Amino acid sequence: MTESPQNAPRVLFLFTEVFAHGGIQRFNQTILDAATRLGIHCRVLSLNDSTAPAASHPEHRNLSVVGFSGNRRRYALAVAAELLQGRYDRVLIGHVNFLLLAIAVLVLRPFSRAPTMLVAHGIEVWSGIGWARRYALSRVDRILCVSHYTRRRILEQAPALAPDRLVIFPNALASSWGRVATVPFARSLPAHFILSVTRLDRGDRYKGIATVIEAFGMLADDSMHYCIVGHGSDLPFLRLVAERCGVRDRVHFMHGISDSELIALYQKCAAFVLPSGKEGFGIVFLEAMFFGAPVIAAEEKGALDVVRDGETGLSVRFGDTVAIKGAIERIQSDGDLRERVRANGRSLVVEDGPFTFTGFTRRCAEVFEVGEAAAG
Protein backbone atom coordinates (compact mmCIF):
# COMPACT_ATOMS: atom_id res chain seq x y z
CA MET A 1 0.00 0.00 0.00
CA THR A 2 1.40 3.35 -1.00
CA GLU A 3 0.73 6.77 0.50
CA SER A 4 1.29 9.56 -1.97
CA PRO A 5 2.86 12.85 -0.92
CA GLN A 6 0.89 16.07 -1.21
CA ASN A 7 2.91 17.25 -4.19
CA ALA A 8 2.74 13.96 -6.06
CA PRO A 9 1.85 14.31 -9.74
CA ARG A 10 -1.66 13.61 -10.86
CA VAL A 11 -2.05 11.53 -13.99
CA LEU A 12 -5.14 10.79 -15.99
CA PHE A 13 -5.09 7.38 -17.68
CA LEU A 14 -7.41 6.75 -20.62
CA PHE A 15 -7.62 2.99 -20.99
CA THR A 16 -9.65 0.53 -23.02
CA GLU A 17 -9.67 -2.06 -20.26
CA VAL A 18 -7.73 -2.97 -17.16
CA PHE A 19 -9.31 -5.87 -15.33
CA ALA A 20 -9.26 -8.64 -17.89
CA HIS A 21 -6.85 -11.02 -19.60
CA GLY A 22 -4.91 -9.88 -22.61
CA GLY A 23 -1.65 -8.18 -23.47
CA ILE A 24 -2.91 -4.61 -23.36
CA GLN A 25 -4.81 -5.24 -20.16
CA ARG A 26 -1.70 -6.75 -18.56
CA PHE A 27 0.27 -3.66 -19.59
CA ASN A 28 -2.35 -1.38 -18.10
CA GLN A 29 -2.34 -3.29 -14.84
CA THR A 30 1.43 -3.18 -14.65
CA ILE A 31 1.74 0.54 -15.37
CA LEU A 32 -0.91 1.36 -12.77
CA ASP A 33 0.89 -0.84 -10.27
CA ALA A 34 4.15 0.93 -10.97
CA ALA A 35 2.64 4.41 -11.00
CA THR A 36 0.89 3.99 -7.68
CA ARG A 37 4.07 2.63 -6.15
CA LEU A 38 5.76 5.79 -7.36
CA GLY A 39 3.16 7.74 -5.39
CA ILE A 40 1.40 9.09 -8.45
CA HIS A 41 -2.27 9.99 -8.11
CA CYS A 42 -3.85 7.82 -10.77
CA ARG A 43 -7.26 8.57 -12.18
CA VAL A 44 -8.32 5.92 -14.69
CA LEU A 45 -11.17 6.10 -17.15
CA SER A 46 -11.65 2.61 -18.56
CA LEU A 47 -14.01 2.10 -21.46
CA ASN A 48 -14.71 -1.59 -21.18
CA ASP A 49 -14.44 -2.31 -17.50
CA SER A 50 -17.63 -2.42 -15.57
CA THR A 51 -17.98 0.13 -12.83
CA ALA A 52 -18.27 -2.40 -10.03
CA PRO A 53 -14.87 -4.12 -10.12
CA ALA A 54 -13.18 -1.02 -11.42
CA ALA A 55 -14.33 1.31 -8.70
CA SER A 56 -11.58 0.63 -6.27
CA HIS A 57 -8.32 -1.15 -6.08
CA PRO A 58 -7.57 -2.56 -2.64
CA GLU A 59 -3.82 -2.18 -2.81
CA HIS A 60 -3.54 1.41 -3.84
CA ARG A 61 -5.37 4.28 -2.18
CA ASN A 62 -4.06 6.77 -4.73
CA LEU A 63 -5.79 4.94 -7.56
CA SER A 64 -9.33 5.54 -8.70
CA VAL A 65 -10.86 3.72 -11.62
CA VAL A 66 -14.11 4.55 -13.35
CA GLY A 67 -15.51 1.97 -15.74
CA PHE A 68 -17.99 2.59 -18.52
CA SER A 69 -19.02 -0.96 -19.46
CA GLY A 70 -18.34 -0.28 -23.13
CA ASN A 71 -20.58 2.79 -23.37
CA ARG A 72 -18.61 4.88 -25.83
CA ARG A 73 -20.74 8.01 -25.60
CA ARG A 74 -20.57 8.21 -21.81
CA TYR A 75 -16.89 7.48 -21.96
CA ALA A 76 -16.23 10.27 -24.48
CA LEU A 77 -18.18 12.76 -22.42
CA ALA A 78 -16.33 11.77 -19.28
CA VAL A 79 -12.96 12.05 -21.00
CA ALA A 80 -13.85 15.48 -22.33
CA ALA A 81 -15.01 16.63 -18.92
CA GLU A 82 -11.88 15.37 -17.17
CA LEU A 83 -9.57 16.91 -19.74
CA LEU A 84 -11.34 20.27 -19.71
CA GLN A 85 -11.14 20.52 -15.94
CA GLY A 86 -7.39 20.54 -16.39
CA ARG A 87 -6.44 19.23 -12.97
CA TYR A 88 -3.83 16.78 -14.23
CA ASP A 89 -0.10 17.04 -14.53
CA ARG A 90 -0.08 14.43 -17.28
CA VAL A 91 -2.43 12.52 -19.48
CA LEU A 92 -1.60 9.03 -20.60
CA ILE A 93 -3.63 7.83 -23.57
CA GLY A 94 -3.65 4.05 -23.41
CA HIS A 95 -4.80 3.32 -26.93
CA VAL A 96 -4.43 5.07 -30.24
CA ASN A 97 -8.19 4.91 -30.75
CA PHE A 98 -8.58 7.55 -28.01
CA LEU A 99 -5.93 9.79 -29.49
CA LEU A 100 -8.14 11.94 -31.69
CA LEU A 101 -10.68 12.47 -28.96
CA ALA A 102 -8.09 13.45 -26.41
CA ILE A 103 -6.18 15.76 -28.72
CA ALA A 104 -9.36 17.40 -29.95
CA VAL A 105 -10.37 18.24 -26.40
CA LEU A 106 -6.91 19.39 -25.39
CA VAL A 107 -6.65 21.65 -28.41
CA LEU A 108 -9.63 23.54 -27.01
CA ARG A 109 -7.50 24.55 -24.05
CA PRO A 110 -4.07 25.17 -25.53
CA PHE A 111 -2.72 27.24 -22.63
CA SER A 112 -3.38 24.89 -19.81
CA ARG A 113 -2.96 21.53 -21.40
CA ALA A 114 -1.19 18.81 -19.54
CA PRO A 115 1.68 17.01 -21.26
CA THR A 116 0.25 14.01 -23.07
CA MET A 117 1.69 10.59 -23.69
CA LEU A 118 0.42 7.82 -25.89
CA VAL A 119 1.06 4.13 -25.44
CA ALA A 120 1.60 2.47 -28.81
CA HIS A 121 1.12 -1.24 -28.36
CA GLY A 122 1.16 -3.02 -31.66
CA ILE A 123 -1.16 -3.89 -34.49
CA GLU A 124 -3.36 -0.83 -34.00
CA VAL A 125 -0.53 1.50 -35.01
CA TRP A 126 1.34 -0.64 -37.53
CA SER A 127 -0.82 0.63 -40.34
CA GLY A 128 -3.65 3.02 -41.07
CA ILE A 129 -2.13 6.17 -39.60
CA GLY A 130 -3.83 8.74 -41.81
CA TRP A 131 -3.48 12.49 -41.82
CA ALA A 132 -5.73 13.04 -38.78
CA ARG A 133 -3.80 10.63 -36.62
CA ARG A 134 -0.52 11.99 -37.93
CA TYR A 135 -1.61 15.45 -36.79
CA ALA A 136 -2.72 14.11 -33.44
CA LEU A 137 0.56 12.26 -32.99
CA SER A 138 2.40 15.52 -33.66
CA ARG A 139 0.58 17.03 -30.66
CA VAL A 140 1.57 14.24 -28.29
CA ASP A 141 4.58 14.95 -26.16
CA ARG A 142 5.79 11.39 -25.89
CA ILE A 143 4.93 8.12 -27.54
CA LEU A 144 5.70 5.07 -25.46
CA CYS A 145 6.34 2.20 -27.89
CA VAL A 146 6.21 -1.29 -26.47
CA SER A 147 8.66 -2.62 -29.04
CA HIS A 148 11.25 -1.46 -31.53
CA TYR A 149 9.06 -2.70 -34.35
CA THR A 150 6.15 -0.53 -33.23
CA ARG A 151 8.42 2.49 -33.04
CA ARG A 152 9.80 1.85 -36.52
CA ARG A 153 6.33 1.40 -38.03
CA ILE A 154 5.08 4.69 -36.56
CA LEU A 155 8.09 6.56 -37.87
CA GLU A 156 7.62 4.99 -41.31
CA GLN A 157 4.06 6.28 -41.42
CA ALA A 158 4.71 9.61 -39.78
CA PRO A 159 8.27 10.53 -40.78
CA ALA A 160 7.86 14.14 -39.66
CA LEU A 161 7.75 13.07 -36.03
CA ALA A 162 10.88 13.82 -34.05
CA PRO A 163 12.35 10.35 -33.34
CA ASP A 164 13.38 11.25 -29.82
CA ARG A 165 9.73 11.64 -28.87
CA LEU A 166 9.20 7.95 -29.45
CA VAL A 167 10.67 6.01 -26.57
CA ILE A 168 10.90 2.26 -26.20
CA PHE A 169 8.78 1.33 -23.23
CA PRO A 170 8.50 -2.45 -23.14
CA ASN A 171 6.12 -4.36 -21.00
CA ALA A 172 7.31 -6.26 -17.95
CA LEU A 173 6.33 -9.18 -15.88
CA ALA A 174 3.72 -8.07 -13.37
CA SER A 175 4.92 -7.91 -9.80
CA SER A 176 2.07 -10.18 -8.77
CA TRP A 177 3.41 -13.24 -10.62
CA GLY A 178 6.11 -13.85 -8.06
CA ARG A 179 3.51 -13.98 -5.32
CA VAL A 180 1.03 -16.41 -6.88
CA ALA A 181 1.15 -19.69 -5.06
CA THR A 182 1.44 -22.80 -7.18
CA VAL A 183 -1.32 -25.29 -6.53
CA PRO A 184 -1.70 -28.81 -7.84
CA PHE A 185 -3.45 -28.76 -11.16
CA ALA A 186 -7.08 -29.71 -10.62
CA ARG A 187 -7.32 -31.61 -13.91
CA SER A 188 -5.07 -34.43 -14.95
CA LEU A 189 -2.18 -33.22 -17.03
CA PRO A 190 -0.36 -35.27 -19.65
CA ALA A 191 3.21 -36.24 -18.76
CA HIS A 192 4.72 -34.48 -21.79
CA PHE A 193 3.15 -31.49 -23.41
CA ILE A 194 3.82 -28.27 -25.20
CA LEU A 195 1.83 -25.17 -24.29
CA SER A 196 0.29 -22.12 -25.90
CA VAL A 197 -1.57 -19.33 -24.11
CA THR A 198 -3.54 -16.94 -26.28
CA ARG A 199 -6.90 -15.65 -27.46
CA LEU A 200 -8.56 -17.95 -29.95
CA ASP A 201 -10.86 -15.67 -31.90
CA ARG A 202 -11.23 -15.97 -35.64
CA GLY A 203 -9.48 -12.66 -36.05
CA ASP A 204 -6.50 -14.04 -34.14
CA ARG A 205 -5.37 -16.65 -36.65
CA TYR A 206 -2.13 -14.72 -36.94
CA LYS A 207 -1.25 -16.17 -33.53
CA GLY A 208 -0.22 -19.29 -35.42
CA ILE A 209 -2.05 -21.88 -33.33
CA ALA A 210 -3.25 -23.84 -36.38
CA THR A 211 0.32 -24.06 -37.64
CA VAL A 212 1.47 -25.38 -34.27
CA ILE A 213 -1.24 -28.03 -34.42
CA GLU A 214 -0.06 -29.00 -37.89
CA ALA A 215 3.57 -29.14 -36.75
CA PHE A 216 2.58 -31.03 -33.62
CA GLY A 217 0.85 -33.63 -35.78
CA MET A 218 4.12 -34.27 -37.59
CA LEU A 219 6.15 -35.05 -34.46
CA ALA A 220 7.48 -38.58 -34.15
CA ASP A 221 6.88 -38.59 -30.39
CA ASP A 222 3.25 -39.64 -30.09
CA SER A 223 3.36 -39.47 -26.28
CA MET A 224 3.54 -35.69 -26.57
CA HIS A 225 0.38 -33.63 -26.00
CA TYR A 226 -0.49 -30.04 -26.80
CA CYS A 227 -2.31 -27.85 -24.28
CA ILE A 228 -3.85 -24.63 -25.55
CA VAL A 229 -5.04 -22.19 -22.90
CA GLY A 230 -7.54 -19.76 -24.30
CA HIS A 231 -10.98 -19.30 -25.61
CA GLY A 232 -12.64 -17.72 -28.59
CA SER A 233 -14.76 -18.00 -31.67
CA ASP A 234 -12.17 -19.97 -33.65
CA LEU A 235 -12.30 -23.06 -31.44
CA PRO A 236 -14.40 -25.11 -33.90
CA PHE A 237 -11.92 -24.40 -36.69
CA LEU A 238 -8.94 -25.31 -34.52
CA ARG A 239 -10.65 -28.54 -33.44
CA LEU A 240 -11.25 -29.32 -37.11
CA VAL A 241 -7.56 -28.75 -37.88
CA ALA A 242 -6.59 -31.05 -35.00
CA GLU A 243 -8.93 -33.71 -36.34
CA ARG A 244 -7.55 -33.39 -39.87
CA CYS A 245 -4.03 -33.70 -38.52
CA GLY A 246 -5.02 -36.85 -36.66
CA VAL A 247 -4.23 -35.44 -33.21
CA ARG A 248 -7.65 -34.56 -31.87
CA ASP A 249 -7.16 -36.75 -28.81
CA ARG A 250 -3.80 -35.17 -27.96
CA VAL A 251 -4.74 -31.51 -28.39
CA HIS A 252 -6.41 -30.08 -25.28
CA PHE A 253 -8.23 -26.77 -25.29
CA MET A 254 -8.31 -25.32 -21.76
CA HIS A 255 -10.43 -22.46 -20.64
CA GLY A 256 -11.11 -20.77 -17.34
CA ILE A 257 -8.00 -21.84 -15.54
CA SER A 258 -6.61 -19.86 -12.65
CA ASP A 259 -3.26 -18.09 -12.54
CA SER A 260 -1.90 -20.73 -10.21
CA GLU A 261 -2.94 -23.46 -12.63
CA LEU A 262 -1.36 -21.52 -15.45
CA ILE A 263 1.88 -21.39 -13.51
CA ALA A 264 1.79 -25.17 -13.15
CA LEU A 265 1.40 -25.44 -16.91
CA TYR A 266 4.30 -23.07 -17.55
CA GLN A 267 6.49 -25.00 -15.14
CA LYS A 268 5.73 -28.43 -16.54
CA CYS A 269 5.56 -27.85 -20.26
CA ALA A 270 8.29 -29.08 -22.58
CA ALA A 271 8.07 -25.81 -24.48
CA PHE A 272 5.94 -22.71 -24.69
CA VAL A 273 5.07 -22.27 -28.35
CA LEU A 274 3.46 -19.12 -29.73
CA PRO A 275 4.75 -18.42 -33.25
CA SER A 276 2.55 -15.37 -33.65
CA GLY A 277 2.93 -13.17 -36.71
CA LYS A 278 1.67 -9.94 -35.17
CA GLU A 279 2.59 -9.86 -31.51
CA GLY A 280 2.87 -6.27 -30.27
CA PHE A 281 5.10 -7.40 -27.45
CA GLY A 282 4.12 -10.80 -26.13
CA ILE A 283 3.79 -10.61 -22.38
CA VAL A 284 3.10 -14.34 -22.25
CA PHE A 285 6.67 -14.97 -23.39
CA LEU A 286 7.87 -13.23 -20.25
CA GLU A 287 5.52 -15.23 -18.07
CA ALA A 288 6.68 -18.49 -19.65
CA MET A 289 10.33 -17.48 -19.24
CA PHE A 290 9.81 -16.54 -15.60
CA PHE A 291 8.53 -20.01 -14.84
CA GLY A 292 11.29 -21.74 -16.77
CA ALA A 293 9.57 -22.75 -19.99
CA PRO A 294 11.71 -22.77 -23.13
CA VAL A 295 10.04 -20.41 -25.59
CA ILE A 296 9.44 -20.85 -29.32
CA ALA A 297 8.27 -17.71 -31.10
CA ALA A 298 8.08 -16.32 -34.60
CA GLU A 299 10.80 -13.97 -35.76
CA GLU A 300 8.26 -11.22 -36.15
CA LYS A 301 7.57 -7.78 -34.77
CA GLY A 302 7.39 -7.34 -30.99
CA ALA A 303 8.56 -10.86 -30.23
CA LEU A 304 11.97 -9.98 -31.67
CA ASP A 305 12.68 -7.80 -28.63
CA VAL A 306 12.22 -10.72 -26.28
CA VAL A 307 13.09 -13.94 -28.09
CA ARG A 308 16.55 -14.09 -29.61
CA ASP A 309 17.08 -17.29 -31.53
CA GLY A 310 19.28 -19.78 -29.71
CA GLU A 311 19.76 -17.45 -26.75
CA THR A 312 16.51 -16.62 -24.97
CA GLY A 313 14.36 -19.00 -27.01
CA LEU A 314 14.00 -20.35 -30.50
CA SER A 315 12.72 -18.24 -33.39
CA VAL A 316 11.02 -19.62 -36.45
CA ARG A 317 9.59 -18.08 -39.57
CA PHE A 318 5.90 -17.36 -39.06
CA GLY A 319 3.75 -20.07 -40.61
CA ASP A 320 6.66 -22.40 -41.32
CA THR A 321 5.37 -25.69 -39.95
CA VAL A 322 8.58 -27.50 -40.86
CA ALA A 323 10.56 -25.00 -38.77
CA ILE A 324 8.10 -25.20 -35.86
CA LYS A 325 8.35 -28.98 -35.82
CA GLY A 326 12.14 -28.71 -35.99
CA ALA A 327 12.24 -26.24 -33.10
CA ILE A 328 10.10 -28.47 -30.87
CA GLU A 329 12.30 -31.44 -31.69
CA ARG A 330 15.46 -29.46 -30.96
CA ILE A 331 14.15 -28.34 -27.59
CA GLN A 332 13.24 -31.92 -26.76
CA SER A 333 16.42 -33.56 -27.92
CA ASP A 334 19.13 -31.01 -27.11
CA GLY A 335 19.41 -30.74 -23.34
CA ASP A 336 22.15 -28.11 -23.45
CA LEU A 337 20.12 -25.87 -25.73
CA ARG A 338 17.04 -26.32 -23.58
CA GLU A 339 18.85 -25.35 -20.37
CA ARG A 340 20.60 -22.43 -22.05
CA VAL A 341 17.45 -20.82 -23.41
CA ARG A 342 15.67 -21.47 -20.13
CA ALA A 343 18.40 -19.75 -18.12
CA ASN A 344 18.80 -16.86 -20.57
CA GLY A 345 15.06 -16.42 -20.88
CA ARG A 346 14.61 -16.27 -17.13
CA SER A 347 17.45 -13.77 -16.83
CA LEU A 348 15.31 -11.32 -18.80
CA VAL A 349 12.65 -11.22 -16.11
CA VAL A 350 14.57 -11.54 -12.85
CA GLU A 351 17.06 -9.37 -10.97
CA ASP A 352 18.48 -6.79 -13.38
CA GLY A 353 16.79 -8.14 -16.47
CA PRO A 354 15.28 -5.68 -18.93
CA PHE A 355 11.72 -6.88 -18.42
CA THR A 356 11.45 -6.93 -14.65
CA PHE A 357 8.87 -4.97 -12.76
CA THR A 358 11.67 -3.01 -11.10
CA GLY A 359 12.99 -1.93 -14.48
CA PHE A 360 9.50 -1.06 -15.63
CA THR A 361 8.96 1.10 -12.55
CA ARG A 362 12.23 2.87 -13.27
CA ARG A 363 11.04 3.63 -16.80
CA CYS A 364 7.74 4.91 -15.38
CA ALA A 365 9.62 7.21 -13.01
CA GLU A 366 11.49 8.65 -15.97
CA VAL A 367 8.47 9.33 -18.14
CA PHE A 368 6.33 10.65 -15.27
CA GLU A 369 9.34 12.59 -13.98
CA VAL A 370 9.12 11.45 -10.40
CA GLY A 371 11.86 10.22 -8.13
CA GLU A 372 12.23 6.46 -7.88
CA ALA A 373 12.57 6.78 -4.14
CA ALA A 374 8.88 7.42 -4.05
CA ALA A 375 8.35 3.83 -4.97
CA GLY A 376 9.53 2.82 -1.56
Q: Which residues bind other proteins (CB under 8 A)?
A: 205-206, 208, 210-211, 214, 217-218, 220, 237, 240-241, 244, 246, 277-278, 300, 317-323, 325
Query: From the CB of 285, what's the least distance to other proteins, in Å?
Result: 18
Q: How far is the CB of 326 from other proteins (least distance, A)?
A: 11
Q: Could you tell me the CA-to-CA distances from 307 to 190, 193, 272 in Å, in that order?
A: 27, 21, 12
CA gap 132, 82 in Å, rounded: 23
Comparing CB distances to other proteins, the nearer of 217 and 294 is: 217
Nearer to other proteins, 6 or 127 (CB): 127
Judged by beta carbon, residue 99 or residue 241, the one nearer other proteins is: 241
Q: How far is the CB of 52 from other proteins (least distance, A)?
A: 31
The angle at the Cα of 26, spanning 75 to 283, to the nearest 5 degrees, equals 140
Closest approach of other proteins to the CB of residue 325, in Å: 8
Q: Which amino acid is at 357?
A: F
Rounded Cα–Cα distance for residues 195 and 262 (Å): 10
Question: Partners of 93 in the beta sheet?
Answer: 14, 118
CA–CA separation, 52 and 277 (whole Å): 36
Q: Answer for the pair 306, 147: CB distance below 8 angstroms, yes or no.
A: no
The least distance separating other proteins from the CB of residue 134, rounded to whole angstroms, comes to 20
CB of 127 to other proteins, least distance (A): 9
Question: Which lies closer to other proteins via its Cβ, residue 215 or residue 370?
Answer: 215
CA distances from 343 to 107, 179, 181, 296, 360 (A): 49, 20, 22, 14, 21
**Which of 19, 15, 21 has its CA nearest to residue 198?**
21
In whole angstroms, the minimum distance from the beta carbon of 318 to other proteins comes to 6
CB atoms within 10 A of CB 254: 18
CA 46 vs. chain centroid, Å, equals 17
Residue with Cβ nearer other proteins (213 or 370): 213
CA-to-CA distance for 56 and 50, rounded, in angstroms?
12
Give 53 or 203: the residue with its C-beta nearer to other proteins. Answer: 203
Identify which of residues 113 and 153 has a Cβ nearer to other proteins in the complex: 153
Measured from the CB of residue 102, what is the shortest distance to other proteins in angstroms? Answer: 24
Question: Which CB sits closer to other proteins, 186 or 322?
Answer: 322
Q: What is the CA radius of gyration of the chain?
A: 21
Instruction: Order the strands of the 41-46 sheet from edge to edge.
Output: 63-67, 41-46, 10-15, 90-93, 116-120, 142-145, 166-168
280, amino acid identity? G
